[in-house]
Amino acid sequence: MAAVTVDSRRADDEGELFHLYGQVFGQPMTEASRRRWRWQYLDNPQTNGGPAIWVAREGAQVLGQYASMPVRLWWAGREVDASWGMDVFVREEARGKGVGALLFSTWSDNVDVALGLGLTPSSYGLFQKLRYDDVGPVPFFMRPLDARALLRRRLGRGLGDVAGLLAGAGLRLFRPDRGRSPRAVEVKRAEGPAADADALWDDARGGYAMCVRRDRRYLEWKYARCPHQAYTFHEARTGGALRGWAVSRVQDYQGVRLGWVVDVFTRADDADAQEALLGAVLDGFRGQGVARAQAFAMNRALGRALVRRGFLRRPSPMQFCVRARVDSGSALQERGSWHVVFGDSDMDR
């Protein structure tokens, strides 16, 4: 039996890898992966020379892959090379033989900081077994905007309308929106990332212990050119100076219109800009008939802003594990100063 090796994906691996992907995830997900593949793996501004995909082999046979999303990461006061782990799968007959662990280790050994977000139970268990730092789950927040629409789905018309009216009144009474939208902060819809997004990044990054580099080039790729989602941009300014931006989108899911707060970025201590941006996003959701707004936010200050805007914290399914090969300083102890949201990794795919 040939030894198992791991190396970079080759051009002639495509057919076999997509075939395996279909066996593991099914054809609908496989076709969706094909449609976004170039954007996800080749157009990423941090991809150099080819997709960041590791492939396990036994002789000439492909056993599985670990695909990742390279990023520049603000980590403990400087930028380092990092990547989000994403599509990992192993041929059925090769499972339980250490192939997955070998793929995980090869990936993490080739970046300064390896980031695993939104893990399946099997991946989460393997991350723990390999002694990655368990830093999740990333907090989840939700705010009902139309309680009647939500309860109609569960209780039907009539009873759902009555229950929705009572629930809505209770939320307004006990969990009101206490957010601020100061006149000094002007929030407007934008066509895409602001021209001065790089200056905001340079100014704001020092307030975070961990944050993916959110410059204009990254934002153009991640949100403006995303082929499978349509995003709305808002930006907050004072006297013409950019104080922050927000990215959101709307979707219909199982009969409910959801509004996702995908990303909000400001100086970490700029509560006025955070709350003003969230207020504008919520106003946009109401205009689009959104029944429930949702967000993930690891940053403690952004979480407080969401709560002031009437969001409720709920149990989170988004597990998060990290392995660093560089000096982390106090970053691992300052997790409330990390900026991780739904827009990170490939969570919103």
Give how many domains the chain has, as a whole number: 2
If asked whether residues 23 and 148 sit together in one domain, one would say: no
Does a structural domain hold residue 225? yes
pLDDT (tens place) for every residue of the chain, 349 residues total: 578 999 999 999 999 999 888 888 888 888 988 889 999 999 999 988 789 999 999 988 999 999 999 999 999 999 999 999 998 889 988 888 899 999 999 999 999 999 999 988 888 988 998 899 999 899 999 999 987 776 666 666 666 555 566 656 666 666 677 877 788 999 999 999 999 999 999 999 999 999 999 999 999 999 999 999 999 999 999 999 999 999 999 999 988 999 999 999 999 999 999 999 999 999 999 999 999 999 999 999 999 999 999 999 999 999 999 999 999 999 999 999 999 999 999 999 8
| Residue 329 belongs to some domain of the structure | no
Q: 101 and 152: one domain? A: no
- Does the pTM surpass 0.75? The reply is yes
Over residues 189-240, the pLDDT tens digits come to 999 999 999 999 999 999 999 999 999 999 999 999 999 999 999 999 999 9
Domain boundary among 115, 134, 153: 134
Same domain, 89 and 151: no
> What is the CATH classification number for the domain harbouring 172?
3.40.630.30
Question: Residues 270, 155: one domain?
Answer: yes
Q: Are residues 201 and 272 part of one domain?
A: yes
Q: Are 144 and 130 part of one and the same domain? A: no
CA separation for the pair 332, 76 (Å, rounded)? 9
Domain contains 331 = no
| Structural domain ending residue among the three candidates 134, 166, 187 | 134
Which of 134, 166, 185 lies at the terminal end of a domain, its last residue? Answer: 134
The DSSP result for 183-242, as a single string, is TTSEEEEESSS-TTHHHHHHHHGGG-SEEE---HHHHIIIIIT-SS---EEEEEEETTEE
Whether 44 and 186 map to the same domain: the answer is no
304-330 pLDDT, tens digit each? 999 999 999 999 999 999 999 999 999
Q: Is residue 246 part of a domain?
A: yes
**Across-strand partners of 80?**
73
Structural domain includes residue 340: no
Backbone region of residue 159 per phi and psi (left: phi > 0; alpha: psi in -120 to 50; beta: other values): alpha
Burial class of residue 112, CB neighbours in 10 A (0-12, 13-18, 19+): buried
Q: Are residues 168 and 280 in the same domain?
A: yes
Name the packing angle between helices 300-308 and 271-287 (round to 10°): 50
Check whether residue 130 and residue 144 sit in a common domain.
no
160 and 306 share one domain: yes
Say if CB 215 and CB 340 are below 8 A apart. no
Hey, which residues does 116 pair with through a beta bridge? 85, 321
Report yes or no on 202 lying in a domain. Answer: yes
> Do 22 and 146 fall within a single domain?
no
Inter-CA distances, 84 with 126, 160, 343, Å:
16, 42, 12
Q: Are residues 173 and 130 in the same domain?
A: no
What confidence tens digit (pLDDT) does each residue in 109-133 have? 999 999 999 988 888 988 998 899 9
What residues make up the domain containing 171?
140-315
The answer to whether residue 320 sits within a structural domain is: no
CA proximity to 65, closest of 41, 48, 81, 45: 41
